[in-house]
Structure 1
Amino acid sequence: MQYFTADTHFFHERLLGISEFAPRPFLTVEDMNDTIIQNWNRRVGTNDTVYHLGDIAILHTRPEKDGLQQILDVLNQLNGHLILVKGNHDSRALFKYLEKNNYLIKGQPKFAFHDVGALIKMNHCQYYMTHYPMMMGIVKQIINLHGHIHHYSVPIKEDINVGVDTPEVSYLKKKPPFGTPFSEQEIEEMVEGKRIDFLKRH
């Protein structure tokens, strides 16, 4: 199975609490990290693939290697093969460290990397997966899955925010627990819900 997420911001202490930008009602980053890990692993299996569309973690420690190892330790607790699209908070050093410490799960690497984005075909649609939302113009059967903006829904029906804070979960019949990567079915439901909403508004 394939799943999709973005903007986990593991270890990002400044996001804790209630805010319009990213409401995360946790007392500590450990609580937030553990909640995401638990909800992720309830859905994602060992051999599943998760596209993470950037901003994995924010942890500024010295020496830098200690912070990178802490991030790796968290990612190693997450089920599945992680295809990582670089976000604005994802350093080159992090990607290099993960690549250096990569390993195989049943013949497939734990981590794969994309600097800008990735493209897949799914149920007769093409999905461009990027960190930043894209302005694609008039397109048919092309959807942009993205993160970056947290609380905001881009007013373009082909752009779907898959971040853990996305307001576009309102298009789902059942909202998954915080930090749960979205399934293919949920992505399709969000796409259809936003399309209908867009037609009503315009």
Structure 2
Amino acid sequence: MQYFTADTHFFHEQLLGQNDFAPRLFATVEEMDQAIITAWNQRVAERDTVYHLGDIAMHPSNYPSNQEVLAILQQLNGQIVFIKGNHDNRALFKFLAKNNPQLTGKRPKFLFHDVGVLIKANHFQFFMTHYPLMLGIVKQTINLHGHIHHSSVPLAENINVGVDAPELDLLTHKLPFGTPLSVAEVFEIYQRKQALLAQQNKN
């Protein structure tokens, strides 16, 4: 199975509490980090792949050490494909590549991309980037992205898959905070966002 997430911002204490940018209603950063780990592992199995679209960890005053980030990531199930976010530095990626655990079948746990990844799903293309893209007129192409936290691009073809994304409210079922999205959930968001925007344009 394939799953999608972004903007986990492990260790980012400044995001805690109610705010417009990235509301995270946890008392401590440890509680927030554990909530993401638990939600991730309840969904993702070792054989699965999770596309993480950037901003793994963050602490404005004292960036967590590479070893601390690795310790968190080692607790997460599945293979993780990282697309570099604006808060992900190359030194971290090099460290993770050097200390890359092996999954069954000799698969590396971590894979890395600087800009984006394109995959196919149900006759659509998912173009995955950290920053949202303005695709113009497209057919059967969806840009999965992160970066903008609790904001949304007013186009159905742009879907924010970050843990703070307002698109999560379009799902008919509520997911625990930090749960990576499935392919089926991406399409549910896409269809409901299409309908919502069409209704707004009529009014």
Q: Specify if TM > 0.5.
A: yes
Cα distance in 2 for partners of 1:24, 1:142 equals 31
Task: State the 1:196 CA deviation.
Answer: 1.0
Cα distance in 2 for partners of 1:11, 1:117 equals 25
- The unaligned stretches of length 5 or more in structure 2 are none
Match of residue 195 from structure 2: 196
DSSP 3-state at the match of 1:69:
helix
Match of residue 105 from structure 1: 103
- The unaligned stretches of length 5 or more in structure 1 are none
Match of residue 186 from structure 2: 187
**Equivalent residues of 1:61, 1:67 under 8 A apart:** no
Match of residue 129 from structure 1: 128
Task: State the 1:60 CA deviation.
Answer: 6.3
Cα distance in 2 for partners of 1:98, 1:92 equals 10
1:154-175 alpha-carbon deviations (Å, 9 max, x no partner)? 0112000000000011211002
Deviation >2 Å, runs of 4+: 59-62
Aligned residue type for 2:179: T
DSSP 3-state at the match of 1:155:
coil
Between the two proteins, the alignment pairs up a number of residues equal to 200
1:92-118 alpha-carbon deviations (Å, 9 max, x no partner)? 111111011012201211000000000
DSSP 3-state at the match of 2:65:
helix
Cα distance in 1 for partners of 2:169, 2:101 equals 37
| TM-score (norm. length: structure 1) | 0.96
Match of residue 162 from structure 1: 161
| TM-score (norm. length: structure 2) | 0.95
Cα distance in 1 for partners of 2:61, 2:136 equals 42
Same amino acid, percent of matched pairs: 60
Q: 1:4-153 to 2 correspondence within 5 Å? A: 4-59=4-59, 67-106=65-104, 107-153=106-152
**Equivalent residues of 1:133, 1:146 under 8 A apart:** yes
The alignment's C-alpha RMSD in Å is 1.3
Structure 1 window deviating more from structure 2 (72-81 vs 14-23): it is 14-23
Aligned residue type for 2:18: I
DSSP 3-state at the match of 2:176:
coil
1:3-50 alpha-carbon deviations (Å, 9 max, x no partner)? 000000000011111101111111211111111001110010011000
Cα distance in 2 for partners of 1:61, 1:68 equals 15
Task: State the 1:199 CA deviation.
Answer: 1.4
